[in-house]
Each structure stands twice: as structure tokens, then as C-alpha cells.
Amino acid sequence: MPITPEQRDEIDRLRAVTATTRRATVPALEEILYQPLEVLDHGFVRVIDYMGDDAAVVQAARVSYGKGTKKVSEDSGLIKYLMRHRHSTPFEMCEIKFHVKLPIFVARQWIRHRTANVNEYSARYSILDREFYVPAPEQLGAQAVVNRQGRGDVLEGEEAADVMRLLREDSERAYSHYEEMLNHREDGSVIDPSRQGLARELARMNLSLNYYTQWYWKVDLHNLLHFLSLRADSHAQYEIRVYAEAMLDVVKRWVPAVYESFTEYRMGGAHLSRTGLDVVKRLLAGEPVTQEASGLSKREWRELMDQLGRSES
């Protein structure tokens, strides 16, 4: 299960309290504050705290007092300008803190984004839960032939069944051995009073990367958007992409004007090289352009044609 009964009690207690503040708050985000947004089989994303809103971005850009202009359209236009021209500093004025529960192998990808403050659950101090990620059958992709770090066709039949069995058996066995080495069960009770048990910091090395960890992750809006531009992309690994998509929905609630400009210019836009832009100009002029004559590599040519909605030629 994504959250324990104890965590649910804590969430209910936190949500039962309402504070009076002069700080900017966002009703749509307040609706889901502390609530777990379930991801994968045991994971979640929770918003724990936040600072700022759309008006804070505008305020920072104009270095003005209070909120932005009286016209929402003018604030939206400024935010679009900032996003379009990659003026990042105003977006850094907003921050958000997440509580995330995720498989360890996803965490190892995620931690490569070194622009946030992170505090992870310590398996040196506590015993990890018996929770591990097993992909849904439709996510059991074979190794891609072209992309060495991607997936190809979905495994089917007996091969898929064997993979699911191995994942579950190996994970269960690893946790049983983890408990045996610790000489403690998942609930903390002692297995054999006559044994000492191995230190937690050593016993944890026996667990596989599909076991779940948790952390608090605090980041400013600019660096969050950079994270989402990479991890919510269709080319990102599925298991981290679904976390990014959940967080993208949070951004939509939190800063809707920023979300609109981000999806317009970053997620839905395209970045062209100088040579790529020249190819587009030549095509618009009616000139027939081939990959060989374009000055682009085969891969960049293919990407450009995909962006333009043209089949390869």
C-alpha cells in the first residue's frame, strides 16, 4: 500500500488544521496539500509546503510591491515572455517541497538533478518496508535495438510470465534474507533473542533496486520545470515519467499561468539548431531539401522531420 495507517492518521491531523496567514496561498493546491498522489504500485507524491504563486513570478520580474498588475492577461503575457526568452531568475522565487516514495532505481536517476535539497529515508537507522516495485505487464518491454537505454516491444506469453515470477521471487527472497541478517522482522520484533544480527547499514546492501525508498525533495520552480522538461518527456523512462506527470499536475494547480507558458514553449515547443532553422527556411521557400544536402546528421534530420510532422525523405 502507498501509505501506512500511521501516515494516514498524520495526514488527517495536518489537513484538519487551518492557519491564518498573510502569505500568498493557492486554493487549488491547498485542496491536495499533504494528500498522497499515488504513483506506480506502492509509490506516491505529496506536496508538503510551498512558497509563492504566479504573482510572485511577476513581482520578481518587475521588482514591485504586492501583487502584479490588475490585469491577469498582462501578468500572463509577462510570464510567457519570461519563459520564451529563458529568463529564469523570477521563477526561482517560488519553491515547493515534496514527499516522494519511489523505487530505489528511480531515485538514482532522479538524484542526478543536483539542484534541489534532498533528505532521504535512512536504512542505516530504520528497517525498510517489504515493498518492491513490479512492473505492470504492459511495461515489460524488451531491450530496444536502436536505443540502448530504452525499451522495445512488450514481452508476451511465457517469457513475460517468467520475468514477473523472477521479479517477485527474487524480491521476496532478498527481503527474507534481509530480515534474517538483521535478526529483526519488518515490524521491528526480534527473530532470535540469542543472535545479535547484522548492522542495518550492512544488511541493506542485499536488497535490490526495485525496493522503495522515500525522501523530502525541495526545489525552486525554475529547476522543477527543468526537471519536468526532461522527465515528463515521452522519451523518459516510464517509471520516472509517471512521477513527473503527477508533479506536472501539481504545477498546473499551483501556478496555472506558468504551467500554460511552460507547456506552450518548453513541452510543446521545439529547439532548433542554426542549421536546422536554415533547413526550415529553405523548406518554407519551397526548396526541396534532402538529409544529405541539409548539413544535419541523420539523427538530427530525423528529429527535425518528426518535429515538423513530415515523414523521413
Q: Which domains does the chain have, with CATH numbers?
A: 1-132+210-269 (3.30.1360.170), 274-308 (no CATH)
Residue numbers in the known binding site are 89, 109-114, 120-124, 204, 220-222, 226, 231
Instruction: Give residue 66's pLDDT band: very low, low, confident or very high (50, 70, 90).
Output: low
Q: Which of 83-92, 151-160, 169-178 has the lowest mean pLDDT?
A: 151-160
Q: Which of 64-68, 178-182, 248-252 has the lowest mean pLDDT?
A: 64-68
pLDDT in the model for residue 177: 97
Under DSSP, is residue 126 helix (H, G, I), strand (E, B) or coil?
A: coil
Reply yes or no on whether 231 is catalytic: yes
CA angle 247, 250, 254 (to 5 degrees): 140
pLDDT digits (tens, 9 = 90+) for 201-228: 999 999 999 999 999 999 999 999 999 9
Instruction: Judge whether 219 and 96 are in contact, CB under 8 Å.
Output: yes
72-84 vs 54-62: helix crossing angle, rounded to 10: 70
Average pLDDT over residues 145-169: 84
> Is 303's pLDDT higher than 80?
yes
> pTM to 2 decimals?
0.90
Instruction: Give residue 180's pLDDT band: very low, low, confident or very high (50, 70, 90).
Output: very high
First to last CA, the chain: 50
Residue numbers in the known binding site for FAD are 89, 112-114, 120, 220-222, 226
Q: Which residues contact 158 (CB under 8 A, 6 or more apart)?
A: none
pLDDT digits (tens, 9 = 90+) for 7-51: 889 999 999 998 889 899 999 999 999 999 999 999 999 999 999
Which of 13, 15, 23, 231 is catalytic? The answer is 231
pLDDT in the model for residue 144: 72
Amino acid at 9: D
Instruction: Judge whether 207 and 174 are in contact, CB under 8 Å.
Output: yes
User: How many angstroms separate the CA atoms of 298 and 291, rounded?
Assistant: 7
Residue numbers in the known binding site for dUMP are 109-112, 120-124, 204, 231
pLDDT in the model for residue 219: 98
User: How many angstroms separate the CA atoms of 12 and 6, rounded?
Assistant: 10
Under DSSP, is residue 234 helix (H, G, I), strand (E, B) or coil?
A: coil
